[in-house]
Structures are given as C-alpha cells and as structure tokens.
Amino acid sequence: MAQVTLRKVVKKYDEVLAVRGIDLDIVDKEFIVLVGPSGCGKSTTLRMIAGLEEISDGDIAIGGDIVNDVPPKDRDIAMVFQNYALYPHMNVYENMSFGLKLKRTPKDEIERRVKQAAQILDITELLDRKPKQLSGGQRQRVAMGRAIVRDPKVFLFDEPLSNLDAKLRVQMRTEIKKVHQKVRTTTVYVTHDQVEAMTLADRVVVMNAGLIEQVGAPNDLYHSPATKFVAGFIGSPAMNFLPCQLEQAAGALRVRLSDKLSFPVPSDRTARYTSHAGKSGLVLGLRPEHIAETRPHVEPNQHDFDMAIDVVEPMGMETLVYFTINGTEVCGRVNPNAGAADGKPMKLRADLSNMHLIDDASGKVL
Amino acid sequence: MADAAVATASDRAASRPRYGSMSRDRRWALRWSYFFLILFAIFFLTPPIYMFITSLKTSAEISAESNPWWVYNPTLSNYIELLTQNTYLTFFRNSAIVSVITVVITMTISVIAAFALARMRFWGSATLATGVFLTYLIPETLLFIPLFKMFAWVNETFGIQLMNNWWTMLILYPTLTVPFATWIMIGYFASIPKELDEAALIDGATWMQTLTKIFIPVALPGIIAATIFTFTVSWAQFLYPLAFTTSTTELVLPVGIITTLIKGDVFNWGQIMTGALLGAAPPLIIYAFLMDYYIAGLTAGATKG
C-alpha cells in the first residue's frame, strides 16, 4: 500500500510562503496531477514529498509512515526530472541500474529488472548508448526506466515533458499513461499544462498561490469548478467571464449582461441563485463551446441572440468567434460552415444549462 | 579586343570562388590572427630554441665570438655530464616526488572542499568560497618571512626542524595550489545541474558516493585542468625552495640548477641550458597529452561559478 498523505504542509523560504498549508490524500495506485501557474507551489510540494526540500510545518506520510525527517533514499520513491538528469558518463544500462547497485541488489536481479523496464519502454536496443547519443524522447524514456527499475512506492514526475517539442509531448503523454497502466504505482505528476493534467490524471489538484484550489476528476473540474480560478485555468480557450446582474421579475430569475441582453436562469438553478438576486459583483461563467451558432431545433435553456462578430479564427474542425458584450470580449465556438465572418452580424445561441454564477469578490462559484 | 578582355575578366571571376562581404571579413580576421600568432610564436619559442642550441655547444664555443644561433661542433657532452651527475638526478627526483605528492594532496583537499562549497549549503559557505579565492591573491613573497617565524616556533615547541628539508615543500606548495585548484573545481561543480545530485540522492547515494560516482567522473576535465595547474606550479616553484632549503641533497630542480651550476661569477652556460631544458620537459609532456582536457576545463571554470 502506498498512499501519500499531506497534512497542513507549509514551506517557507526565509519569509516567503511558497506552500501555505495544504491537505491532500493520494490513494494507492492513483495518478495525481498537480497543476497550476508557475510559482503556485506545485513543484515545491512535489520536492517536499521527494524529500529534496524540508517541510517548514505539517506532516507528509508515505504508505502510512510519517517521513518528515526521512532522507530521500529511504522514502522508497523515484523521480523523473524536467531535464532528465541522466548521468552523462554512464550508458543507459548503468543509468538505470545505478540505484539498484547502490542498494547492493544481486547482479542477475538487476539485469532482469533493467531488461524488463527496457522492454516496457521499448529502449532495449539503446541500453549501451550514452545519454548524449539519445534524442529528447529517448532520454525521457530512460529517465522513466530509471524510475521503474527501482519498483518504488511512489513515482514523482516534475514537468517531465516540458523540454520536448509539441508533437513528441503528445506522444510521450500517451506513453506515460500506458506505462502507468502496466506498472500500477502511485504517481504524483507536476505540470503547468492543463491539457496534460486533464488527459493523464485520475484526479487533478489545481494549485494557486501556495494553496489547493480544488481536487477532483478531470471532468468534474471541467464541468463543476469550485472557484473562478479553476474555471478559468481548466479548458482552452478559457471560460468567458461576463460581469452580470441577477434580476428577479415575476417569479423568474434573469442574468442581465447588458441593457439589451439578458437570459432566463434555468429553472433547476433558480432555488440556488435566488438569494443572490440584486447583488453586485456577480460574474457569469460560460465556456466557449456553450456559445454556438443557432440551429433549428431548440433544446431547453438555449437562447438565441444577435451579435456583431469582431474576429473569426478558423481552426479547421471548428471556428472561434470573438465578440464584445458590454466591453468584455467573449469567445464562442461555431461550426466552420455557419458562415461566421469578421465584422458581420451573426445569430448565436447560448446554452445556459452549463452556466456558472461566480461571486467575483470571493472567487467562489455559487 | 574589348570583347576578349571582358571574356578573360569574367573567366577569371568564374574560376575563383565568390566571397561575400562576410567571408572577406573572415579572411582578414584570419590573416590578422595568423600574423599575431606567428609573432607570439617567434617571441615565445626563441628562448627555448636558444637554450637548445646552446645546450649542444661546448663551453669554449659558447664563449667564442661565433654566431650564437648556429652550432659548429655539436656535442652531447652537456647532457652526458648532467645525467651522470648525482646532484642533478637528486634535484630531478626531489622535484618529481614533491610535485606528484603535492598534486595528490592538493586534489584530495580541493575536490572535497569544492564539492562541499559548491553543493552543501551550510552557514557561511559562500563567504568561505570567496575567502578561498582571496588567499590565492596573497603573493608568496609576502608569506615567506612569516613562514620563517612559524618554522622557528615549530622547531622550538615541537623540536621538528622544517628548515632545509625537501618534504617541507609538501606543506608549503599546497598553500599556493589548494586555493586555486579549489576555485577551479567550485566553478566546475557549480556547472553540473542540480538535478544530477538530486537524482543520485533519490537513487540512494550518500554525499561521498555522489562525489565519487557522479561528480568526479562528470567533472574529469576540470580535475585534469586543476591537476596540470598544480603540477606546473609545484614543478616551477622557485622562491620557497630557495628560501627554505640549502643542502644539495634537499634542493629541487629550479633552485638546484642555479645554485650548483653557477659558482661565484662562473656561469656554466651549457649545463645551465641543458638542465633547464630537461627540467622543462615533464610539464611539456603532460601538457601535450592533456591539452584538450585542460582547455575544456579552464573555459568551463571561467564561464560558470
């Protein structure tokens, strides 16, 4: 069993708080991704789990044992670094077996494990090459191989794909997922790329300014973000945030975006939102895919409106349209054949059943 | 007629490779660098060539008013006399032992010290690193008088006579070589990515294993550079042995040559030149073998750290 538990973990550099008291329970064999903008404390958290950074306060437990003062080598973890950190003077085999040799593992056992890991990662023919003779993707595999042969309780990945080009990154992303399916080991993976986070994770941990904003399955984060930060961070293009008012008229709630534009709130949300009617500082969150071109068939909670398009960005399988409501730029995703054109008016349709109402002051999704 | 002239001109242009302004600049840069390189080569190679020519002459020919750049009666007598002379061989042996042991002492201390200063963050480590470099800046000419006093004190207190012993050089030379070698190694170790020792740490290596299995192999060019430097400094050191040793059995090569081959105002030029030339050989041989590493090591140390 290799669950990882963080309790009120704090990291202070001199007077700067990098991590401000986080709680996290990672269950056995789970793939957890820590994601957030640079400087949010995600790498620091990973390094604290690894034991490369001392924790200033709180507790970290691996497999039930508190490891606050345990050196990295005794935590039974393996780490893959952003720049691979392969030993340049050793060949692939030596790189992968270094940790086992230090543990005085028998030679034939080392050989068996290295061969097995090399097979999983498809690097068998590279075993006697030096790191500088390998491509970026191959180095990344070797770095993973070095982690796998140790058969640790926890894998730690620190932005392992950041140094690869876009195409290889997608390929290696799939590779990492496959490896995790073959070698089911508790994994903590740090990235600033929300796509990587969404595609790899069993659960995503979104961090911001040294705190955890939300923990959840990728789809839960996407569809029911807890805060404005998560709503804006997950998803590309990002969610639209429109300053709005909540009006109550004749027993029905409406979100008003401008003098001319307002939409009725879906009936199943009315009870939840009623108490916020008339309040200031509210923001409507609506993802670009919930603003599309109009269609003949009308679903409940979908409402048509006319808008002059500012800019059109054809993406191939879809076209992004940008327009302005009350001074705020809004993005919508329409069918490439819907006839969107720069500067032309267009009939669009908003799907309010996926709306989010956000209190701008607290940043909470209501 | 005019047509023919045009044709030959264009033929000439076609037969020659065309150079853009960039390559013309390059060509001039190349010419200037050759000019200065040749100038410096002549400047620096003249003394050893003169030494070599003189070493092949007899004393009579050296003092004769003949062309100093030509040997009329070449002879190996200077070489034979010097190499069959016990004193010269003693100097050579002393120099070799002192230099080799100094290299071992220096590298052991400076590699370990540099690793600690470059990688283990501890209270005052940055100040210490600067301090190490500052000690290198103090000239030895300022130090040998206080050293005399210290040696006298050691003799009075412990009864150990440090004066006039070749092995005293093993204490003195590292004071010159350790700071600089440590400084080179700090720069070199600092250029090794931090993740490498973190990976080793996670792989289960102790600090000592990280040093011996990761840092030393990776920093080998730097270590070789520091080794060559240390060897050259100890081999060529003149002031300390001159000040602290007097008996012919205790002298090292540079001091030995001038004290035994200059008698009063009689200069045995042929043997002096031969002795100096033979004495310059070991560092030369080492440089020739390790030059590539030396350059790689020095430049790495120069840009990082």
What is chain B's mean pLDDT, rounded? 84
Q: How confident is the model at residue B1 (pLDDT cuts 50, 70, 90)?
A: very low
Q: Does B193 touch chain A (CB under 8 A)?
A: yes
Residue-range domain boundaries for chain A: 4-226, 240-365
Topology of domain B79-303, CATH: MetI-like fold (1.10.3720)
Pairwise CB contact (< 8 Å): A83 & B204? no
B264 φ, ψ to 5°? Answer: 65, -120
Angle at A149 between CA B201 and CA A79, to 5 degrees: 40
Mean pLDDT of A288-308: 89
Give dist(CA A291, CA A275) in Å, integer.
27
Give A227's DSSP letter. Answer: B
Give dist(CA A39, CA A82) in Å, integer.
16
**Helix residue spans in chain A (DSSP H):** 42-50, 92-102, 107-121, 136-149, 166-182, 194-200, 218-223, 228-233, 267-273
At B162, list the tokens. Answer: 């440090």
Poorest-pLDDT segment among A70-79, A110-119, A228-237, B292-301: B292-301
Q: In what order do the strands lie in the sheet with A240-249?
A: A262-264, A252-256, A240-249, A282-286, A356-359, A364-365
**pLDDT of B294:** 65
Pairwise CB contact (< 8 Å): A52 & B200? no
Give dist(CA B244, CA B143) in Å, integer.
12
- The nearest CA of chain A is from the CA of B199 a distance in Å of 7
Which of B193, B204, B218 is the closest to A102 by Cβ? B204
Which of A72, A73, A83 is the closest to B195 by Cβ? A83
Tens-digit pLDDT profile for residues A4-53: 999 999 998 888 889 999 999 999 999 999 999 988 989 999 999 999 99
Residue-range domain boundaries for chain B: 19-75, 79-303
**Under 8 Å CB-to-CB from B146, ≥6 apart: which residues?**
none
CB A123 within 8 A of CB A142: yes
CB A276 within 8 A of CB A291: no
Place of tokens 């009617």: A277
Which of B198, B205, B220 is the closest to A102 by Cβ? B205
**pLDDT of A222:** 93
- The nearest CA of chain A is from the CA of B132 a distance in Å of 27
pLDDT exceeds 50 at position B139: yes
CA distances in angstroms from A240 to A54, A253, A277, B52, B273, listed in the order given: 40, 21, 21, 85, 87
Instruction: Identify the closest residue of chain A to B218 by CA–CA distance.
Output: A89
**Under 8 Å CB-to-CB from A167, ≥6 apart: which residues?**
none
Residues of A in contact with B217 (CB under 8 A): 89
Mean pLDDT of A304-311: 91
At A205, list the tokens. Answer: 């941990």
Pairwise CB contact (< 8 Å): A98 & B200? yes
pLDDT exceeds 60 at position A109: yes
**pLDDT of B295:** 67
**pLDDT of B259:** 86
**pLDDT of B305:** 30
- The nearest CA of chain B is from the CA of A82 a distance in Å of 9
CB A225 within 8 A of CB A214: yes
**pLDDT of B5:** 46
The number of helices, as runs of H, and strands, as runs of E, in chain B is 15, 2
Pairwise CB contact (< 8 Å): A73 & B199? no
Residues of B in contact with A88 (CB under 8 A): 218
Mean pLDDT of A109-124: 91
**pLDDT of A249:** 79
**pLDDT of A200:** 92
Q: Does B121 touch chain A (CB under 8 A)?
A: no
Pairwise CB contact (< 8 Å): A85 & B204? no
- The nearest CA of chain A is from the CA of B202 a distance in Å of 5
**pLDDT of B2:** 44
3-class SS of residue B297: helix
Of B13 and A319, more confident: A319
pLDDT exceeds 70 at position B3: no
pLDDT exceeds 80 at position B293: no
Q: How many CA atoms lie within 13 A of A157 on its CB side?
A: 32
Mean pLDDT of A335-361: 89
At A215, list the tokens. Answer: 């923990």
Q: How many C-beta atoms surround the C-beta of residue B236 within 10 A?
A: 15
Which of B199, B214, B220 is the closest to A79 by Cβ? B199
Give dist(CA B7, CA A278) in Å, integer.
92
Of B301, B266, B299, B298, nearest to B59 by C-alpha is B266
Which residues of chain A have a Cβ shorter than 8 Å from any chain B Cβ?
A: 50-52, 71-73, 77-79, 81-83, 85, 87-89, 98-99, 102-103, 146, 150
Residues in chain A: 366
At B291, list the tokens. Answer: 């030059």
Tens-digit pLDDT profile for residues B11-52: 554 555 555 567 778 888 999 999 999 999 999 999 999 999
Residues of A in contact with B200 (CB under 8 A): 87, 98
CA A79 to chain centre: 19
CA B53 to chain centre: 24
Pairwise CB contact (< 8 Å): A78 & B195? no
**Distance from the first to the final alpha carbon of chain B:** 69
pLDDT exceeds 70 at position B126: yes
CB B221 within 8 A of CB B293: yes
**pLDDT of B299:** 55
Q: How confident is the model at residue A286 (pLDDT cuts 50, 70, 90)?
A: very high
CATH number of A4-226: 3.40.50.300
Residues in chain B: 305
Tens-digit pLDDT profile for residues B240-281: 999 899 888 889 989 998 888 888 788 888 889 999 998 888
Residues of A in contact with B203 (CB under 8 A): 73, 98-99, 102, 146, 150
Instruction: Identify the closest residue of chain B to A84 by CA–CA distance.
Output: B195
Q: How confident is the model at residue B301 (pLDDT cuts 50, 70, 90)?
A: very low
CB A141 within 8 A of CB A149: no
Q: How confident is the model at residue B300 (pLDDT cuts 50, 70, 90)?
A: low
Q: How many C-beta atoms surround the C-beta of residue B283 within 10 A?
A: 17
Pairwise CB contact (< 8 Å): A52 & B201? yes
A240-365 is classed in which CATH architecture? Answer: Beta Barrel (2.40)
Tens-digit pLDDT profile for residues A178-190: 889 988 899 999 9
pLDDT exceeds 50 at position B302: no
Mean pLDDT of B160-168: 88
pLDDT exceeds 50 at position A78: yes
